[in-house]
Structure 1
Amino acid sequence: MKVLHVITGLAAGGAESQLRLLLQHARHDADVVALYNAGSVADQLRADGVPVTDLGMRSNTEVGAVLRLARLVRRGRYDVVHTHLYRAGLYGRLAARLAGVPVVVATEHSLLDDQLEGRPATRPVRLLYLAAERLGRRTVAVSSAVRANLLGWGIAADRVVTVPNGLDLDAVAFDAGRRERARSALGLADGAQLVGAVGRLHAGKRFDELITALAPSLGRDRQLVVVGEGASRPELAALAERLGVATAVHLVGEQPVAEVLPAMDVLVSPSHYETFGLAVLEGLAAGLPVVYRRCPGLEELDAEVAGAARIGVGDALLPAVEDALARGAGDRTCPPALRALDIRSVAARIDDLYDELHDDPAGRGGRPGRRRTRTGPRVGQRSQPARREDR
C-alpha cells in the first residue's frame, strides 16, 4: 500500500517529529508533502530515505495549491492520504477527494479546550474544520481528551478513533555514557543538579515562568537546560540575563532529546495546554522524576506511573521541583506502564487502520482492496535513528 502524508510544515515541532517517528516504523511505503516551511524535520526525513516534497505555498489562502496537490496525489497513485495539522487537513483532504483517493485519514494532534494549535477555535475555523472532516474517512485523536473535543464539535463517534502518540523507548533509555558527555558539554560541576525542560520555545510552553520560578535557586550547583527552538528564544535569554542567571540557563536549541535527557535530574513541563504531553512521557521513560501541569497521554494510562508529580496551574513550581530532586531518579528504568506507548505498537495500529479502511472502500463491507505492503526498512533508512527535541 502506498501512503502520502500531508502536513502543514516540517519545522521542529511535536506533530512533525511524531510523523517522522511513525514512518520509521511503518510497514507501508510512504511519501510526505509539506504545504510550506519544509524545515529541519524535512531534512531528517530525507536522511531516513523518505521522499519529501515542499508544495511551496506562499499564503494560507492560496487556493491553487489544492489543484497542485491534487495533481501530485494523482501522479503518485496513492492508496491512502493521511493529513496532519489544521491547514493540511483542509487542503490535503480536498485534494485527495479531487484525486479520487479511496482512503483519507487525518490525525488531530492539537485540539483541546476549544483551542486549535494553541489558538482559540473561532466559528469560521470550526466550520471549515467540520466541512473538511466530511471529506475523509477517519480522524485519529491522539488522546481521549482530544476525542472528547472532536465529539463536542459534532463529529460522529464512529468517525473518530483514538491512537496515542508513540514513544521511542529504546532511544530514550538511560545511558550513563551519554549522561557524562552531556553534562561535560554543559560545563556542569561535579554533583550539580540539572533541571530540564523540552519543547518549542513559544509563550504557550511557559518557559519564562519556569526560569523566573527557579532563578533564586540557580547557580553553580543547580542549573537549567531547555531543549528546543522557537521565536521566544530572545525573550527567554533576556529574562535569564535580567534575573542574573544567564550562566545557569542553557538554551541548547533543537537537538536529539535522547542525548540530553540522561544529563537531567528532573524534567519539568510548566505548560498549561498539552494535547498529549510527549515530553513528560519521554522524561518518565528515561527514568526521571517529572513535574508537570498537564499530560493527557499520561493521565489516560490504566496504571499509575511512579515519578510523575502533577501540580495545579496556580501552584508554585520551585517547591515541586525541590521535592522531586529530593526524591531522586532511582535506577532510571522505564516504568512498565509506558510500554503500551511503544512506537512499534502505535505504528502498527495506524497501519491496521489503513488496511481496514482500504479493504472496505465503500465504508460498509465492500470488496477488499489491493495491498502493497513493505516488510523491511526503506532503502537507506536507519533502523534506530536519533530523536530530536520538540514536543
Structure 2
Amino acid sequence: MKVLHVITGLGAGGAEQQLRLLLRHVPGTHDVVTLTNPGQVAEGLRRDGVRVVHLGMAGNRDGRALPRLVRLIRAGRYDLVHTHLYRACLYGRIAARLAGVRAVVATEHSLGDTQIEGRPLTRSVRALYRTGERLGRTTIAVSPAVAERLAAWGVARDRVAIVPNGVDVDRFAHDPEARVAARDALGLPADAFVVGGVGRLVEGKRFDVLVEALRELPDDVRLLLVGTGPREEALRAAAGRAGVLGRLVLAGERPHLSPERTGALDLPALLSAMDLLASPSADEAFGLAVVEAQASGLPVLYATCPAIDDLPPGTEARAVRVPGDTASFVREIRRVREEPGGVRQPSRAALHYSIARSAALHHDVYVTAAGAPTSGVST
C-alpha cells in the first residue's frame, strides 16, 4: 500500500515524533508532506529514507497550497491519504477528495475538552472540523477520551477508530551511562533529585505549577523542562522571582530518536537523567510523555492522563493522579523523594502501549479504509 501522510509541521512535537516512529513500523510505502515548518523531525524522516515534501504554506488562508497538494496527490498515485493535526486534516481531506482518493484517514492527536492544539474550541472551529471530517473515511482517536469528545460533537461512532499512540519501549529503557552524561552536559549535580516535565512550553501544560513548587522543595531538587514554546521566558522570569532560577534547567527541543543513542541528548537520555516526571496539565488527549516515562521506569505524578486512566484493569503503572494545585505537587514530590530507589524497569503500562501494537492497529485501519482484510489485532 502506498500512503501519503499530510501533517501541519515537522518540529519536535509529540504528534510529529509519533509519525516518525510509526513509519518505522507500519508496512507499505510512505511519503510525507508538511504544510509548514520542516524542522528536525523532517530531517530525521529523511535519514530514515522517507520522502518529505515541504508545501511552503504561508498561513491558514494560503489558497495556493490546496491546488499544489491536489497535484502532488494525483502525481503520487496514492492508495490512501493519512492526515495529522488540525490544519493538515482540513486541507488534506479536501485535497485527497479533489485528487480522487477516497481512502482518507485522519488522526486526532490533540483534542482536549476545551481546546485543540492550543486553539479554543469555538463554535466556528467545531463547525469547520465537522465539515472536514465528513470528507474522510475514518478518524483515529488516540484514546477513548478523544473518541467520546468526537461523539459529543456528533461524529458517528462507526467513523471513529481508537488507536493509542505507541512507544519504543526498548529505546526509552533507563540507561545509567546516559543519565551520567546528560546530567554532566546540563550541569545537574549527580546527587540532585531531578523532577522533569516534557512538552510544549504553553499555558495549557501548566509548568508554572512546577516552578512554584520548586520554591517549597528542598535545595537538592532541580526542575528539568524539555520543550520550547511561548511561555519559556515567562517561566524563566517566574523562577527568578521565586529565587529558584539556578535550580531550573530549560533543555529546549529534543528528538525522540537520534542517529546514535550514545552521547546524544535525546529525550530517552533526558528521561534517564530524571528521578520523577510531573505532568500538571489539566487537558490532555493521550499523555505520551507519561507513557514514555513509564518505559523509562520513572515514577509519574499527573493531573490528567487518558493513557493511564484507560489502561485495562490490573495493568501496573508507576503513576499517581494528584490534584493540579502547587501544594499537591509539593506534597507528592516530597513523598517520592523520600522513597527508596531501585532498579528502573519499564512498567506494564508502557508495554501495553508498544509501538508494535500501535502499528498493527494503524495497518488494520488502513486496509479497512482501502477495503482489504485486517490482521485482527485487538484494541
Is the pair's TM-score, using the shorter chain for normalization, greater than 0.5? Answer: yes
Give the corresponding residue for 1:164.
Answer: 164
Deviation at 1:227, TM superposition (A): 1.1
Deviation at 1:123, TM superposition (A): 1.5
Q: Which amino acid aligns with 2:285?
A: T
Task: Classify 1:282/1:328 alpha carbon distance in 2 versus 1 (closer, same or farther; 3 Å).
Answer: farther
Cα contact 1:138–1:161 (8 A) shared by 2: yes
Task: Classify 1:306/1:78 alpha carbon distance in 2 versus 1 (closer, same or farther; 3 Å).
Answer: closer
Partner of 1:316, secondary structure, is: helix
Structure 2 spans left out of the alignment, 5+ residues: 255-265, 374-379
Matched, 1:229 2:239: no
Aligned residue runs from structure 1 range 78-93, under 5 A? 78-93=78-93
Mapped partners of 2:205, 2:74: distance in 1: 40
Give the corresponding residue for 2:150.
Answer: 150
Deviation at 1:307, TM superposition (A): 2.0
* Residue-by-residue CA offset, 1:73-111 (whole Å, 9 max, x unaligned): 000111110001111111000000011113100000111
Partner of 1:234, secondary structure, is: helix
Mapped partners of 1:140, 1:190: distance in 2: 43
Task: Classify 1:329/1:22 alpha carbon distance in 2 versus 1 (closer, same or farther; 3 Å).
Answer: farther
Give the corresponding residue for 2:240.
Answer: 241
Matched, 1:308 2:319: yes
Mapped partners of 2:189, 2:12: distance in 1: 31
Structure 1 spans left out of the alignment, 5+ residues: 361-367, 369-391
Give the corresponding residue for 1:260.
Answer: 270
Task: Classify 1:230/1:301 alpha carbon distance in 2 versus 1 (closer, same or farther; 3 Å).
Answer: same
Mapped partners of 2:246, 2:218: distance in 1: 9
Mapped partners of 2:42, 2:241: distance in 1: 36
Cα contact 2:80–2:366 (8 A) shared by 1: yes
Mapped partners of 1:306, 1:134: distance in 2: 37
Aligned residue runs from structure 1 range 376-391, under 5 A? none
Give the corresponding residue for 2:339.
Answer: 327
Mapped partners of 2:341, 2:31: distance in 1: 40
Deviation at 1:280, TM superposition (A): 0.9
Give the corresponding residue for 1:214.
Answer: 214
Mapped partners of 2:159, 2:96: distance in 1: 18
* Residue-by-residue CA offset, 1:133-189 (whole Å, 9 max, x unaligned): 111110000000000011111111110000000011011101111112122223333
For CA contacts below 8 A with separation 6 or more, give which structure has more relative contact order. 1
Identity %: 52
* Among candidates 350, 358, 369, match of residue 338 of structure 1: 350
Mapped partners of 2:166, 2:321: distance in 1: 21
Partner of 2:24, secondary structure, is: helix
TM-score calculated relative to the size of structure 1: 0.88
Task: Classify 1:156/1:230 alpha carbon distance in 2 versus 1 (closer, same or farther; 3 Å).
Answer: same
Give the corresponding residue for 1:21.
Answer: 21
Mapped partners of 2:340, 2:78: distance in 1: 50
Q: Which amino acid aligns with 1:322?
A: R
Give the corresponding residue for 1:384.
Answer: none
Mean Cα deviation higher: 146-155 or 309-318: 309-318
Cα contact 2:275–2:299 (8 A) shared by 1: yes
Mapped partners of 1:311, 1:230: distance in 2: 25
Mapped partners of 2:235, 2:225: distance in 1: 10
Mapped partners of 2:89, 2:50: distance in 1: 21
* Residue-by-residue CA offset, 1:9-30 (whole Å, 9 max, x unaligned): 1122111111111111121111
Give the corresponding residue for 2:261.
Answer: none
Partner of 1:62, secondary structure, is: coil
Q: Which amino acid aligns with 1:307?
A: R
TM-score calculated relative to the size of structure 2: 0.91
Mapped partners of 1:281, 1:327: distance in 2: 21
Mapped partners of 2:270, 2:340: distance in 1: 17
Matched, 1:273 2:283: yes
Mapped partners of 2:155, 2:271: distance in 1: 39
Q: Which amino acid aligns with 1:325?
A: R
Give the corresponding residue for 1:387.
Answer: none
Mapped partners of 1:238, 1:193: distance in 2: 22
Matched, 1:116 2:116: yes
Deviation at 1:218, TM superposition (A): 5.3
Mapped partners of 1:42, 1:218: distance in 2: 41
Deviation at 1:328, TM superposition (A): 4.4
Task: Classify 1:197/1:73 alpha carbon distance in 2 versus 1 (closer, same or farther; 3 Å).
Answer: same
Give the corresponding residue for 2:368.
Answer: 356
Q: Could you say what the CA RMSD is over the residues aligned between the two structures, in angstroms?
A: 1.6
Q: Which amino acid aligns with 1:301?
A: L
Matched, 1:289 2:288: no
Mapped partners of 1:283, 1:239: distance in 2: 26
Task: Classify 1:328/1:7 alpha carbon distance in 2 versus 1 (closer, same or farther; 3 Å).
Answer: farther
How many pairs were matched up? 360
Partner of 1:274, secondary structure, is: coil
Deviation at 1:359, TM superposition (A): 2.5
